[in-house]
């Protein structure tokens, strides 16, 4: 039998912060029993306008309680990556969630999230070793493992992810489908600054000069997409030339792929993806392109 919810469990007029997974599971179970849908927005915090857009997308669904998870997941960081310096700002994250009329913030500690260790994980398959995975071995095992745990803890009807992390979105879609998670994965277009820079929690690490340099990534995507009617080689050459013209961009990869991240077609829908280091900050971006004349 479902225990009735107290004010400390959930308040229809404000945001409630939960840390304990078992308690949150009990709360969302009661909310579902009362006929509410649960929409999950998984984040690592340091929320910005891109996250606000994910939250607003989650709110579009009827009769929904939005749960925003804020958890910097150590499993998805490699030994030489920026786990220690990743921004943590729970207080202002909760303020943003309050402004956005989020129902619940789930902010577990590492111990709350992994009380039994991390022996079991989800393998993303071959795509997990490509693109981001080639530079960040094990990254997507860590992402999919924590996302699967969040799905099990929260039991959402919808889970909302940004297209900025396009490979992540693709792999989460794949996991949900192949492992029969009973939910819809919703992708939301990237939010950009006025000059095209994709919003990212890591942008705060950029100096003013690096911030200018970083615009080169989105500029390359736009330049590539601009010549997409000429086919894949033209797209890649134009984007590569645009990146090469900006000093300070240390390119990791620039690749054209199919929308499901299989090999790029000669014609039709494709995705152009880029990753580069600017100073000490690694940035990623991507854009949809329509190759050839789009007729099959």
The catalytic site residues sit at 51
Quick note: the x/- pattern for ligand PAF over 53-82, rule CB under 6 A, is --------------------x--x------
Q: Fill in the per-residue mask, 187 to 206: x = in contact with ligand PAF (CB under 6 A), - = not in contact.
A: --------------------
Q: Which stretch binds ligand PAF (CB under 6 A): 20-28, 88-96, 139-147, 176-184?
A: 139-147
**Do the beta carbons of residue 289 and residue 149 sit within 8 Å?**
no
Among 9, 132, 165, 285, binds ligand PAF (CB under 6 A): 165
Check residue 145 for interaction with ligand PAF (CB under 6 A). no
Q: How many residues of this chain interact with ligand PAF, rule: CB under 6 A?
A: 10
CB of 19 to ligand PAF, least distance (A): 16
Point out the annotated binding site for beta-alanine. 76
- To the nearest whole angstrom, how small is the minimum distance from the Cβ of residue 207 to ligand PAF? 23
- 185 makes contact with ligand PAF (CB under 6 A): no
Does residue 176 bind ligand PAF (CB under 6 A)?
A: no
Which one, 43 or 242, has the nearer CB to ligand PAF?
43
Q: Rule CB under 6 A: which residues touch ligand PAF? A: 42-44, 73, 76, 143, 146-147, 165, 168
């Amino acid at each position: 039998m479902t225990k009735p919810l107290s004010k400390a469990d959930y308040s229809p007029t404000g945001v409630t912060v939960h840390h304990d997974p078992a308690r949150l599971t009990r709360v969302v179970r009661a909310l579902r029993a009362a006929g509410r849908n649960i929409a999950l927005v998984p984040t690592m915090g340091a929320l910005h306008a891109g996250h606000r857009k994910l939250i607003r997308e989650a709110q579009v669904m009827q009769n929904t309680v939005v749960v925003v998870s804020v958890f910097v997941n150590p499993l998805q960081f490699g030994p030489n990556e920026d786990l220690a310096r990743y921004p943590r700002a729970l207080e202002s994250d909760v303020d943003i969630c309050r402004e956005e009329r989020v129902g619940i913030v789930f902010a577990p500690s590492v111990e709350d999230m992994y009380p039994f260790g991390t022996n079991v994980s989800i393998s993303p398959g071959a795509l997990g070793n490509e693109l981001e995975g080639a530079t960040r071995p094990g990254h997507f095992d860590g992402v999919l493992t924590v996302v699967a745990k969040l799905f099990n803890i929260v039991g959402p009807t919808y889970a909302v992810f940004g297209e900025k992390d396009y490979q992540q979105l693709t792999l989460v879609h794949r996991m949900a489908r192949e492992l029969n998670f009973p939910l819809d994965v919703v992708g939301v277009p990237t939010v950009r600054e006025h000059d095209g820079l994709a919003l990212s929690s890591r942008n705060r690490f950029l100096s003013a000069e690096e911030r200018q340099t970083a615009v080169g990534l989105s500029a390359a995507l736009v330049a590539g997409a601009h010549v997409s009617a000429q086919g894949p080689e033209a797209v890649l050459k134009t984007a590569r030339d645009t990146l090469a013209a900006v000093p300070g961009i240390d390119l990791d990869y620039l690749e054209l792929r199919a929308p499901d991240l299989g090999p790029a077609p000669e014609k039709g829908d494709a995705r152009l993806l880029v990753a580069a280091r600017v100073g000490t900050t690694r940035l990623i971006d991507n854009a949809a392109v329509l190759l050839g004349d789009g007729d099959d």
